[in-house]
Amino acid sequence: MTIPPTNSKPIFQTSVLADWTDEAVMLRVCEFKDTVAFGELVWRWQSRIQVLCLRMTGNWQDAEDAMQETFARAFSGRAQFRGESRFSTWLWRIAIRSSSDICRRRRPADGLETVTSVSNDPDPSIAADNLERRDAVATALDRLSEDLRIVVTLKHFQQLKFREIADVLGIPVGTVCSRMAEAINQLEESLKSYQIKERES
Amino acid sequence: MKTADSKHPDDAEWMLWLYNESDVEQSAFLNSHYAECDHCRCRVDRWKTTLAKLSSPAELPLDSTDVTIPTWMETSAGHSSKSIAVVPRRSVSSTQLAIAALVVVLAFFTGRSFSTQPDLEQLRTELKSELQSQLKQELNLSIQSEIRQLRTGETDLVPLIQSESGRVVSATLSNWVQKNSEHEKQLESVLTGILDNQVNLRRDLETLAIEAEAQILKTRRELLRLSAAGNSDPAQLLDGGATDVLPGNSNGREKEF
């Protein structure tokens, strides 16, 4: 029996993958079903995806679920990534879809548990102010429609360019900008009560 | 209130300008419009204030190196210094900075002067063991991949088996064809015999038929002769007696012949 020619793959380690672009790593995941490479992508993107999911769902638990679902969907649907678009665009889309699904599945009776964060400020009065502001912002964001919330989250909290947001959502740049303006107008209305309170204090 | 003469830019244009994403020409136009038009400035300032009130990206679990904050947020009137976490709340004087730098430099040199020499042998042994373990891991992985390759090589047997079975099948088939041809030959000879018999039979029958026809003609002629001799109507005799001549329909006259 003849031994076939060796076509052994190189042994990849996370340190090697660190220099690769997201697209290159994802193509490796697609080709070899490489879980180590996918782990590298998760490590790179989890915090940003978590923030997006948090702003979209409004609470930590759902955000965690949405994040896990995002990466699970990305891995299971890896064949759909052909390297024609940027990996980030593809992943943002999945994350938005996952978050929307989680929000839709959430029972209305559960209500919205707004994002509460712990302030690290040593001054208690400033810490209280910050917490109050964050709660007000979270409530205002929750009041926005999903389309507007996505744009605000991607633009303000993820610092994406308007062009990138347009790519992710598949809409023109002008529409994204208009939605952003509309979202800010609505946020302004929602935050009025907080502003009045702040002025009084 | 002072307003610009030109048309007011729309929300989308202002948004691009707010986030420093408009092109140079547009940016220049919007800058001048912002300076001249009170209506638009008021609107844009309200947006700035609202955006400054949103929690900044630095407050969230995000890698701070990825965060870039638009310049206008840092200079937003009266709000940025309080509401955005990334903007320092307290100003640090240059004297404080100089003292801090001095302390750092002093600490560095003190540390350098009092520190002991690194144990090279220990470092070498640690590095060696670490490298060995890493090499072992890599070797293990490569061996496993080789084993996997060998396992996949077993598939090479399949075409061999296929060719062998093909040879057996072809031999069986040729045997069968040979036997079949012999059977065909036998069958052909039998068929030829049957055909010969049929031909012989047909010839006998034809001979018989010709002889019978000749006999009939002869009988007719005899009848005509007899009728002529007896002055009777030969046609009547023929019409009435034609069937009587047939075999199996025997009567007295047949006996006479």
Average pLDDT over residues B223-242: 67
Angle at B28 between CA B27 and CA B30, to 5 degrees: 65
Cα A189 from chain centroid (whole Å):
25
Tokens 């938005």 belong to: A96
Could you give the ipTM of this predicted complex? 0.73
Q: Looking at the predicted structure, is the pLDDT value of residue A139 above 90?
A: no
Q: Where are the domains of chain A?
A: 11-108, 120-201
Average pLDDT over residues A34-55: 88
Taken as a whole, chain B contains a residue count of 257
Tokens representing residue B81 in the block: 């210094």
Contact list, A122 vs chain B (CB under 8 Å): none
Query: What pLDDT, on the 0 to 100 scale, is given for residue A6?
Result: 39
What's the DSSP call for residue B190?
Answer: H
Q: Which of B50, B57, B59 sits opposite A159 (nearest CB)?
A: B57
Distances (CA, A) of B179 to A147, B174, B193: 82, 9, 22
- Between A43 and B163, name the one with better pLDDT: A43
Least confident segment among B27-36, B108-117, B166-175: B108-117
- Residue B78 phi, psi (nearest 5): 70, -5
Query: What pLDDT, on the 0 to 100 scale, is given for residue A141?
Result: 85
Q: Looking at the predicted structure, is the pLDDT value of residue B80 above 70?
A: no
Q: Which of A1, A163, A184 sits opposite B47 (nearest CB)?
A: A184
Q: Looking at the predicted structure, is the pLDDT value of residue B62 above 50?
A: no
What's the DSSP call for residue B5?
Answer: S
**Percent of residues, chain B, with pLDDT higher than 70:** 67
Tell which of A88, A184, A191, A196 to mutate to test the B interface (max B CBs under 10 Å).
Answer: A184
A120-201: CATH topology is Arc Repressor Mutant, subunit A (1.10.10)
**Percent of residues, chain B, with pLDDT higher than 90:** 14
Average pLDDT over residues A74-98: 89
Q: By C-alpha distance, which of B61, B64, B58, B67 is closest to B89?
A: B58
Query: What pLDDT, on the 0 to 100 scale, is given for residue B64?
Result: 35
A145-196 tens-digit pLDDT: 989 999 998 998 888 999 999 999 999 999 999 999 999 999 988 888 766 6
pLDDT band at A59 (very low <50, low <70, confident <90, very high): confident
- Between B163 and A123, name the one with better pLDDT: B163
| Dist CA B217 CA B222 (whole Å) | 9
Tell which of B11, B46, B68, B83 to mutate to test the A interface (max A CBs under 10 Å).
Answer: B11
Query: What pLDDT, on the 0 to 100 scale, is given for residue A1?
Result: 41
Portion 114-143 of A in contact with B at CB < 8 A:
117, 126, 129-130, 133-134, 137
Q: Which of A158, A163, A180 sits opposite B15 (nearest CB)?
A: A180
For chain A, what is the mean pLDDT? 80
Q: Looking at the predicted structure, is the pLDDT value of residue B58 above 50?
A: no
A176/chain B closest Cα distance in angstroms: 8
Least confident segment among B87-91, B157-161, B176-180: B87-91
pLDDT band at B113 (very low <50, low <70, confident <90, very high): confident
Query: What pLDDT, on the 0 to 100 scale, is given for residue B213?
Result: 92
Q: Which of A50, A51, A174 sits opposite B12 (nearest CB)?
A: A174
pLDDT band at A68 (very low <50, low <70, confident <90, very high): very high
Query: What pLDDT, on the 0 to 100 scale, is given for residue B167?
Result: 82
Q: How many CB pairs under 8 A join A and B?
A: 99
| Dist CA A117 CA B59 (whole Å) | 9
| Dist CA A158 CA A150 (whole Å) | 10
Q: Where are the domains of chain B?
A: 11-94, 181-256
pLDDT band at B83 (very low <50, low <70, confident <90, very high): very low
B172/chain A closest Cα distance in angstroms: 27
Q: Looking at the predicted structure, is the pLDDT value of residue B5 above 70?
A: no
A159/chain B closest Cα distance in angstroms: 7
B50 to A134: CB separation less than 8 angstroms, yes or no: no
> From A116, which residue of chain B is nearest by alpha-carbon distance?
B60
- Residue B141 at interface with chain A, using a CB cutoff of 8 Å: yes
> From A44, which residue of chain B is nearest by alpha-carbon distance?
B63
> From B16, which residue of chain A is nearest by alpha-carbon distance?
A177
A1 to B57: CB separation less than 8 angstroms, yes or no: no
Q: Looking at the predicted structure, is the pLDDT value of residue A122 above 50?
A: yes
Query: What pLDDT, on the 0 to 100 scale, is given for residue B181?
Result: 87
pLDDT band at B81 (very low <50, low <70, confident <90, very high): very low
| Dist CA A44 CA A41 (whole Å) | 5
- Residue A75 at interface with chain B, using a CB cutoff of 8 Å: no
Q: Which of B16, B46, B67 sits opposite A159 (nearest CB)?
A: B67
Long-range contacts (CB closer than 8 Å, 24 or more residues apart) made by B199-208: none
Q: Looking at the predicted structure, is the pLDDT value of residue B50 above 60?
A: yes
Tell which of A123, A159, A164, A175 to mutate to test the B interface (max B CBs under 10 Å).
Answer: A159
Which CATH class, in words, describes the domain spanning A11-108?
mainly alpha
- Residue A7 at interface with chain B, using a CB cutoff of 8 Å: yes
H-type alpha helices, chain A: 14-17, 22-32, 35-57, 60-76, 87-105, 124-143, 146-152, 162-169, 173-200
Contact list, A130 vs chain B (CB under 8 Å): 85
Whether residue B36 contacts residue B66, with contact meaning beta carbons closer than 8 Å, is answered with no
Query: What pLDDT, on the 0 to 100 scale, is given for residue A173?
Result: 92
B146 to A51: CB separation less than 8 angstroms, yes or no: no
> From A153, which residue of chain B is nearest by alpha-carbon distance?
B57
A11-108 against A120-201: fold identical: no
Q: Looking at the predicted structure, is the pLDDT value of residue B210 above 90?
A: yes
Least confident segment among A33-42, A85-94, B62-71: B62-71
Average pLDDT over residues B153-159: 63
Q: Looking at the predicted structure, is the pLDDT value of residue B214 above 60?
A: yes
Q: For residue B221, with 0-12 CB atoms within 10 Å meaning exposed, 13-18 middle and 19 or more buried, which class applies?
A: exposed
Average pLDDT over residues B83-107: 67
Query: What pLDDT, on the 0 to 100 scale, is given for residue A165?
Result: 93
Query: What pLDDT, on the 0 to 100 scale, is given for residue B143?
Result: 86
A111/chain B closest Cα distance in angstroms: 22
A181 to B62: CB separation less than 8 angstroms, yes or no: no
Cα A3 from chain centroid (whole Å):
49
Average pLDDT over residues B80-91: 38
- Residue B67 at interface with chain A, using a CB cutoff of 8 Å: yes
Average pLDDT over residues B11-35: 89
